[in-house]
Amino acid sequence: MARGLLNKLVSRTLSVAGNWQHQQLRRLNIHEYQGAELMGKYGINVPKGVAASTIEDVQKAIKSTFPSEKELVVKSQILAGGRGLGTFQNGFKGGVHIVKVDEVETIAGKMLGQILITKQTGPQGKVVSKVYLCEKLSLVNEMYFAITLDRSTAGPIIIACRKGGTSIEDLAEKYPEMIIKVPIDVFKGITDEDAAKVVDGLAPKHADRNACIEQVKKLYKLFCESDCTLLEINPIAETSDNQLVAADAKLNFDDNAAFRQKEIFALRDTSQEDPREVDAAKADLNYIGLDGEIGCMVNGAGLAMATMDIIKLHGGTPANFLDVGGNASEGQVVEAFKILTSDDKVKAILVNIFGGIMKCDVIASGIVNAAKQVQLKVPVVVRLEGTNVDQGKRILKESGMTLITAEDLDDAAEKAVKASTS
């Protein structure tokens, strides 16, 4: 449910992007129902649940999985938090509902195929393609649990709080003493002592302490063996029958582990991602979609960030972060232009290349070929410096394209901002 506490530092690095931004983090995000299924395989207590894509699936699930239940929890499945307080574009309020069984179909029908807007989706929202039907648990105590990676200790760290189910950010701000953190030695793994500290931080009132310790160890095993970057449960709760249960599931996985976590990465739902970023990943481009009006194509992450900064300095807003890298092919440059021009908000494009390994003539050829394949309806400002710069400029000049050339980065940003507002 809560993401901000764990991703706050990452968010700050892209603060130039505007109010709503998409963050390309080093992790795969999966749905709650997928996370619950994975946790169940590790012996972690989770509610009985079934994912449904259609009303027919909902009807089958009720008959086969919940034949004797009187109430069920209906959860919209999107890759964003704040679902319970979200609002659908059709006016229906709340992405999580506890309802009587005979009302499940109606509620699911108001969710499936609809756009849910939460505090984490931005105003555009995300489409609900599945709902997760869960048994209604009798929860008597709600707590917070998470495992993430901590740079200061160079290893995993477990975060626990005896209060949960609500915004962990607010609790951390108002009651910092409630938040306990237990760093784990990555070489030794989690010890009984480590797990006991976590359980003491959770302060369960009814569940057996030793059983809770075992659950914590299983959660840590899942985190390590699955190459997680985040495992968050809010709430992790005690039930009326004295069980510690993961009532919610949020898991992220390290993209670098895709080669050995094929089953997990097969769960990726690209419909929940920015389509521009999906296309960029296919072309092996480092792209992050933002909400500005000036499309950027730059080589090198540092230069790309500097380009975004100087655009802001001159009163403009970057539409993206795009690093074509030091060894991009002409084809990748063409794909980059296709992605930039597919964004309706882009009013101008700024190409800023400092050729080292990346040659200016390759970029220039890519720009010319992109112009042949894509209708360039917006001004293009080009600043080229470095390896083969003269050849690059000659290619652009002989192409007959209408380009705005710039002598340096400051000049390029100023011209791009002017072009985007004219």
Whether residue 338 contacts residue 370, with contact meaning beta carbons closer than 8 Å, is answered with: yes
> Is residue 299 part of an annotated ligand binding site?
yes
Three-state SS sequence of 292-357: CCEEEEECCHHHHHHHHHHHHHCCCCECEEEECCCCCCHHHHHHHHHHHHCCCCCCEEEEEEEECC
> Is residue 84 part of an annotated ligand binding site?
yes
Residue from 110, 78, 418 nearest 250 by CA: 78
> Is residue 331 part of an annotated ligand binding site?
no
Residue from 164, 92, 167, 97 nearest 125 by CA: 92
Other residues' Cβ atoms within 10 Å of the Cβ of residue 218: 17
173 is an active site residue: no
H/E stretch holding 40 = helix 32-41
Whole-Å CA distances, 277 to 267, 283, 398: 17, 10, 32
How far is C-alpha 110 from the chain's CA centre?
25
- For 172, the token pair is 């951390």
Distance between CA atoms of 381 and 414, rounded to whole angstroms?
A: 10
Distance between CA atoms of 306 and 283, rounded to whole angstroms?
A: 23
Distance between CA atoms of 86 and 116, rounded to whole angstroms?
A: 6
> Is residue 83 part of an annotated ligand binding site?
yes
144 is an active site residue: yes
User: Phi and psi (nearest 5°) for 221?
Assistant: -60, -45
Residues 32, 232, 277, 414: which is the catalytic one? 232
Strand order in the sheet with 71-77: 49-52, 130-135, 71-77, 96-100
> Is residue 357 part of an annotated ligand binding site?
yes
> Is residue 286 part of an annotated ligand binding site?
no
- For 261, the token pair is 């976590």
Residues 33, 144, 220, 287: which is the catalytic one? 144
Strand order in the sheet with 126-127: 87-88, 115-117, 126-127
> Is residue 248 part of an annotated ligand binding site?
yes
Residues facing residue 349 across a β-bridge:
295, 380
164: CB partners within 8 A, 6+ apart: 142, 143, 144, 145, 234, 235, 236, 237
Distance between CA atoms of 288 and 329, rounded to whole angstroms?
A: 20
Whole-Å CA distances, 65 to 69, 165, 243: 9, 26, 21
Residue from 323, 244, 235 nearest 277 by CA: 323
Q: Give binding residues as ranges.
A: 75, 82-84, 142, 234, 248, 299, 356-358
Q: Which residues are annotated binding-site positions for ATP?
A: 75, 82-84, 142
Binding annotation for substrate: 299, 356-358
- Tell me which residues are annotated as active site: 144, 232
**Residues in binding site for Mg(2+):** 234, 248
